[in-house]
Structures are given as structure tokens and as C-alpha cells.
Amino acid sequence: MEQTQFDRWRKCWESYLLGEQMDENGPYTARILASIDRMASLDLDFKGYEDDSECTVASPVFGLRARALAYRTKGSRYYRDPAVLRQVMEELEKLHHDFYNTENAPDIIENWWAFEIGLPLRILDILILLYDEIEDRDAQVRKYTDVILHFRDAYKASSRGREENGANLMWKCHILLLTGILRHETEWIEWANAKIPGMLQYSHAIEVPRMGKMLDDGFYEDGSFIQHYMFSYTGGYGKHFLSILSGLMFAFRGEECLQIPEENVRFLGKAVRESYLPLLYQGRMMDVCRGREPSRYWCEDRNAGAIVLRALLYLSAALPEKEGEELTAALKEQLSRPQTIDCLLYDFHPSAEYFVTPSLAERLKAMDESKVEAAAPLAGHFNFGVMCKPVHRTSRYAFAVSMYSRQIACYEKLMKESTKFWHVSDGATYLYTGAGNTYSGNYYAAADMQRLAGTTVERSPRRAEDPYYNWYMPEARNTCAFAGGTTLSNAGIAGMQYMGQGNGKERTLKVQKSWFMFEKEIVCLGSGISSTTDNPVETIISSDRLLDKDLRFRVLAGTDGKELPVELNGTEIVLHTDRIYISQVPQENAEDPQALSGLSEGCGYYFPGGAEIHILAEHRRGTWNSVEINPDHVSENDYLTMWIAHGSHPENADYSYVILPACTEQEWMERTCSPAVKIEENSVNAHAVRHLEEKLLGINFWQDAPYTCQKVTSEMQASFLARENGQGNFTEVSAADPTQQERVLEYTGGEIRPAR
């Protein structure tokens, strides 16, 4: 193979980073340059690591790469500055001499990710960006890549005893491919090309030594993406997977350096449609699919969304023409809001994983100039059953539920992260509307993490002192089988049975929860709520963050829509009512109330038969619990939380409420005065809801024994959703086994039974 091919391939990656030619007057240029200069100004002082886990984010190589990029970016204040070039090379040498070298590497291997992935990713970019200006280049390149190849056995078969898959393997393919290009060695390029197709196909359950049957990393047929055997990670590790692969495909499109078979490229296009786009809402990547990443202060949902959108922009030019145009249409819809574009162009935190690069401006310009029209907002019900995260989308809102199962763990406490995320899979619900973004703005730093919307929780004053459910512990998974649902047209139902955390690691709370998701309503039911501890048990209806200091919470209740005197003073309000409406409206002294008017869209709630509702508005202070540069930084937010109290030692308690998302006050009043939904049963045997307008009947059967509900008999645990013709007959039926035990069910003439 000619040496000129290696040089051409290196230039391909350089072009991916820098673009072809910076348009100094382009609409995106100034913002991108501002971000590049800010990232390049980071403190590079490297004092070593007090804890090996800090290596992921504390390494100066982040800043070195940023400065190398700024040095090569025309328009940057660091462009071709000799002092910057000298500093980058001196600091890179210092890093190599003191820390990242073949002599130290075998002894500092506990944080394998930093040595095998994190540091190589940035070092390779530096070498490519500064390739033409490195003194004694060949020797220097080999020196800095020798330590990367020191781990070649770990790349080929993980040093942790199993073959890598998912994002970790994609990272390693990227690293070895670029290493092969720089060293003019085809072995590593060929290895990467041999591995990539295997990741672009569906994964399956595997046997793991000492852990039993687990889910392998990667994509599943229902759109789920799994990493670490038991976590939903489309917007976490899946985000990295997509970012790396899209960069490779864009940079080396048409080049022999990267050869991905056509069927695997088609698979990737399908994964974009079925795995990524349903979880992107107005530029935000939903937290239900981000594993432990929501606990990272630098990577809130809008930041994760920006990284995915950047990847999709590059991928749209690398996919076949038809799929590229479909993706461009989806991107135009996602990027139709100024705040989304701003987040796309600018890195707000120095620990951002993939800094914005000059070539992004060219991709945005190409999208703008495309004649493809923007797609309509994505609507439908997406049942990510493997990772237990159903997502419901309409033209006005999106709604997601976080559950866990016998295969999916409740949360991932790892590397000091997710230390407060005890209940994120206890039925936590996430509501997204155009009114604003509740889950950014340091939401998790100060939120009451025992009062997450949708959850039913034993409220323990000692929860933070309790031992954690580490991800590898069997106790981290659900002891109950029921965790799933079914879909019919754009509607869907989901349900979960679980044992909740009581004192310490004891699971003493029994709960059955269901969600019936329609066009304008979401019906939430709970039954069989029982506990044996003295801890009070609560079902949290909502937990909203005040979106702007010039806004206030406005709460209406009752048939007359009377406004409640809600103040941010921590005073709990208790009232018996059948309806509540919550919105955020401008304060009387707001500087620009007109600018805030778009945030005032509200959310209505309806409580069939009435219920005793607790409301608390409070100002809260807290810190992020994650691996971060300044873990003691205090964040503050205002929250309004609403819940139903079940008391201590409840026995077979229940609840029911209906959410009317993204509605006006008039719509709330009309739809609660004449409800379109009817709760047919809420017992330990079944949850059943009928939607009168949509002519739908949904049932979750909780028992593995014959039971009849609404003239439907099931012999097993099942989720059932059917469309009625108004004459007592079903015209469409959808039924599923939510236990994920590979059982096959049959439905015949109103009866659900195991296949015989």
C-alpha cells in the first residue's frame, strides 16, 4: 500500500476536525470560534490524581487537544501562535514522561478506560492536528503511539476477561484505526474494519462468568441500547458509539480505509430512526436512556442532545442518499429552535466529551441549503421493552417512564456517580413540552431525590447513609417479573411490579404501577401498595423546577379553578380535590414578561373520585454527586412537588390520577369536567382503563392465574390493548408478555393464554 494513502487518510481526519475552509462571515462561525477559544483557555496545570477515578475528566489532555485545535483554526485568537504550539508539545511530553508511558502503564491500570480510551482519543487528534509541525515527527509519533499499542491485547480481547462490545469496542476501533494511519501499519486498520460490522447488528443475552445470564452491549430489536449488561444507555454509551462511528464514516466516506458492508450501513440507518430519534425531544436527550450520565453536571440532557445532533449532522452526509435526506429532515425539525442551535454550537462545560469543531459550521450550512423540508415532530408510542423505558410522543408533548426488571438494574452507582439516584427506575416519569426544560439547569443537584415524579417511595431520613445497590449486585435488579407493556397505533400501556427500598438494602415496599398513554391524557394507576416499616410511603405526582427567576408557580384547584396561595417558603399545602392545574407565569415585577410568555403553558391533573393532595413549593440547595472538578459547588433551584401520602405501614393502598400535558386552563377545565377516560379497575388483579374518544381499552393483568376483566380473560401476566367498535367487539388487538421470560402468548376470542 502506498504511503500517500496513509497521508491522504490522515488528511481526511484532519478535514473532519477543521473543515475545508472557515467562512468568517458565516452565521455559525462566531459562536463556534467563541467556544473553541474558551475551551482552549482551560487551565492545563496537571498535578496528578488524588484518586485514579479522576483520570476520566481531570487529565490536561482535554485542554491540550483544545489548544491544538485552536492553533489550527483560522479565526481563533490562538491561530498559529508559536507559544501555543510550544506549550502543547511541552505539556504532552510532560504527560508522557511523568504518567502515560509504557513503564508506568502496567502499574496504573485500575482506571483502564483512561489508559485504553480516554487519553488515546485526545492524543491521536493532537498528533494529527500538529503533524506537519512536530519536530523529529516519525520518532515522536511512534513514541506517543507505542503506549497506545502497549494495550493491544486489551484492544483485541479485553483485559477484564471478555471481548469488548458496544461503545467501548467502537472507541477502540477508532483508536487503532487512527494509530494505524499515523504509523503506516495496516494491521490495526484491518482489525478495526473486521470488528465494526459486528457492532452493527442486534445483540442478545450472553452467559457471563460468575454473573449468569446478562444482556450483551449493543442494540436490540425494539430499539434499546444496552451497556454494562443491565443499563439503558442510548444517550450515554450509545451517544459515544454514534459520535465515534459518524466521525469515521464522514471522514473516510469513499475511502478504502473504512469498509463497512452495505447491510451494516442500512442497520445503522434503522438504528438512528428507531433507537436515537425517538429519545431526542427538541434537542434534549431523554434522561431515561442515559444510565448514570444524568448525575454529571457537565452533561445534562441538552448537552447530551447536542453531542448526538452533531453526530447526526455528520452521519447525514455519510448515509445513502435517501436515508441521508430523511435524517436531514429530522435534523431540521430538531434544530428549529434557537436554544438548540446555541447548545449545538457552544460547549458550556470544560469536561464536554467532544468539543465543537470548525467543520460543524459547514455541515450546518449544507443542512440549511438542502431543499429537504423539515419533518413533522415525531409522534408515536415507542416501547423500548428490553431496557424498560417506554416513550410516548404526541404533537404537543413527550412522556417517558423509567422502570427496571429482572435483567435491567435500578441504577448504576459507579465511579462516584449516581450516588443519589436511588429511585430513578421506581417508575420515575419525565414530561417534556415546549414550555421549557425541567431537567437541565442543575435539576438533580438540588432536587429531592426521594420525590421524583411518578415514583412510589418509602421516604427514609437515612437514605443517603444506606448501602448502595452497586450495578453488579443481584439485588439491584427487580425481584418481580412484570416490567413492560404493549403498543397499538400511537397509544401504549406499561406496568411494573416491584419491591421498593425500605431501610438499608431491605426491599420492604410492594407496588404495582401502570401508565395508560393516549393522545391527550396519561392515566396513572397504583395498587397493592404495602410496607412493613415505619417510613412514610408517598406516590409523587410531579416535581417541577421553576424555569426562570422572573417566573412564579401558579396553581389552580377545584371545579371553580381557584388559585391557591403557593409561596416558595417550604409550607406544605394539603387539600382534597379532584383537579389541579400547574403553570409558570411571569412575576409582577418581571423585567420582560412578554419574553417569558412562551413558558406559561401548563399541565393539568385529574383525580377520579377526588384525593388528598400534598403540595410543597420550596427553595432548595444541593451539590452534584459525581466525578467533577468542583464537587462542593452549591446549586440552587425552586421546586414545586405534588404527592399522595399513603402513610406508614400501608396495606394494599392504591392511587389514581390523570395527567393532561401541555394544555391550556380552558382545555384542563373542559376535559376534567367531561373526562374522556374511565378507570374500569384498579386492583391487585388488574388495572384497566377505557378511553371513550379513542375507543381503546387497556388492561394490565397482574396474576399468573386465570382472571377476567372487562370480558377479557387472561391465564397469565399480560398487557392488553384493544380498539373497540362501540358494539362490544374489538377491531384491533395488541397483547404482550411483560415479564420478558421468553414466554409466547396466544389471544383467541377474548382469552389470553400461554402458547401450548
Q: Which residues contact 554 (CB under 8 A, 6 or more apart)?
A: 563, 566, 582, 583, 584, 585, 602
CA distances to 315, 444, 511, 726 from 696, rounded to whole Å, are 39, 36, 25, 10
473 pLDDT band, cuts 50/70/90, is: confident
Rg (the chain; Cα; Å): 27
- Is 373 a member of any domain? no
- pLDDT tens for each residue of 156-166: 555 455 677 89
Nearest-angstrom CA–CA distance, 234 and 232: 6
Res. 310: pLDDT tops 90:
yes
Q: Does residue 270 share a domain with residue 152?
A: yes
- Is 519 a member of any domain? yes
Give me the pLDDT at residue 54, please: 41
CA distances to 456, 542, 655 from 538, rounded to whole Å, are 6, 12, 10
Domain boundary pick from 361, 388, 411: 361
Where residue 293 falls (left for φ over 0; alpha for ψ -120 to 50; beta otherwise) is alpha
- Is 487 a member of any domain? yes
Q: Does residue 277 share a domain with residue 425?
A: no
- Is 694 a member of any domain? yes
Res. 61: pLDDT tops 70:
yes
Q: Does residue 410 share a domain with residue 334?
A: no
> Which CATH number goes with the domain that contains 320?
1.50.10.100
- Is 664 a member of any domain? yes
Reported residue count of the chain is 756
Give me the pLDDT at residue 224, please: 97
Q: Does residue 601 share a domain with residue 464?
A: yes
385 pLDDT band, cuts 50/70/90, is: very high
Sign of CA dihedral 458, 460, 463, 464: positive
Give the CA count within 13 Å in the CB-facing half-sphere of 592.
5
Res. 352: pLDDT tops 50:
yes
Q: Does residue 73 share a domain with residue 203?
A: yes
What are the cell numbers at 535?
A: 417510613
Share of the chain above pLDDT 90, in %: 73
Domain boundary pick from 311, 333, 361: 361
- pLDDT tens for each residue of 71-102: 999 999 999 999 999 999 999 998 888 888 88
Give me the pLDDT at residue 604, please: 97
In this structure, which amino acid lies at residue 41?
A: S
Q: Does residue 321 share a domain with residue 384?
A: no
Q: Does residue 386 share a domain with residue 298?
A: no
In this structure, which amino acid lies at residue 374?
A: A
Nearest-angstrom CA–CA distance, 487 and 471: 30
| Of the listed ranges 175-189, 376-390, 411-425, 476-490, the one predicted with least confidence | 411-425
Q: Which residues contact 532 (CB under 8 A, 6 or more apart)?
A: 502, 508, 649
Residue 237 burial class via C-beta count within 10 angstroms: exposed 0-12, middle 13-18, buried 19 and up: buried
What are the cell numbers at 326?
A: 430523511
Place of cell 513514541: 143
Give me the pLDDT at residue 46, please: 43
Q: Which of 672, 689, 541 is nearest to 616 (CA)?
A: 541
How, if at all, do strands 712-714 and 718-724 pair? unpaired
Share of the chain above pLDDT 70, in %: 92
For the chain, how many structural domains are there in total?
2
- Is 411 a member of any domain? yes
Q: Does residue 315 share a domain with residue 396?
A: no
Q: Does residue 398 share a domain with residue 341?
A: no
Nearest-angstrom CA–CA distance, 330 and 335: 9
| Residue bearing the bigger pLDDT, 416 or 675 | 675
Give me the pLDDT at residue 508, please: 92
The end-to-end CA distance of the chain, in Å, is: 60
> Which CATH number goes with the domain that contains 449?
2.70.98.10
- Is 485 a member of any domain? yes
Give me the pLDDT at residue 22, please: 83
Q: Does residue 661 share a domain with residue 548?
A: yes
**Mean pLDDT rounded to a whole number for the chain:** 90
- pTM (2 d.p.): 0.94
Nearest-angstrom CA–CA distance, 184 and 180: 6
8 A C-beta contact, residue 498 and residue 480: yes
In terms of residue numbers, what domain contains 236? 3-361
- pLDDT tens for each residue of 525-580: 999 999 999 999 999 999 999 999 889 999 999 999 999 999 999 999 999 999 99
Q: What is the mean pLDDT of residues 649-656?
A: 97
Domain boundary pick from 361, 389, 422: 361
- pLDDT tens for each residue of 111-123: 678 888 888 999 9
Which residue(s) pair with 620 in the sheet? 637
The 8-class DSSP code of residue 711 comes to T
59 pLDDT band, cuts 50/70/90, is: low
Give me the pLDDT at residue 51, please: 43
8 A C-beta contact, residue 281 and residue 385: no
Give me the pLDDT at residue 111, please: 67
Q: Does residue 404 share a domain with residue 336?
A: no
| Of the listed ranges 52-56, 150-154, 498-502, the one predicted with least confidence | 52-56
333 pLDDT band, cuts 50/70/90, is: very high
Angle, in degrees to the nearest 10, between helices 237-251 and 301-315: 30
Torsion angle, alpha carbons of 325, 330, 334, 338, to 10: 30
In this structure, which amino acid lies at residue 364?
A: L
- Is 688 a member of any domain? yes
Give me the pLDDT at residue 48, please: 42
- pLDDT tens for each residue of 442-465: 999 999 999 999 999 999 998 888
Q: Does residue 390 share a domain with residue 304?
A: no
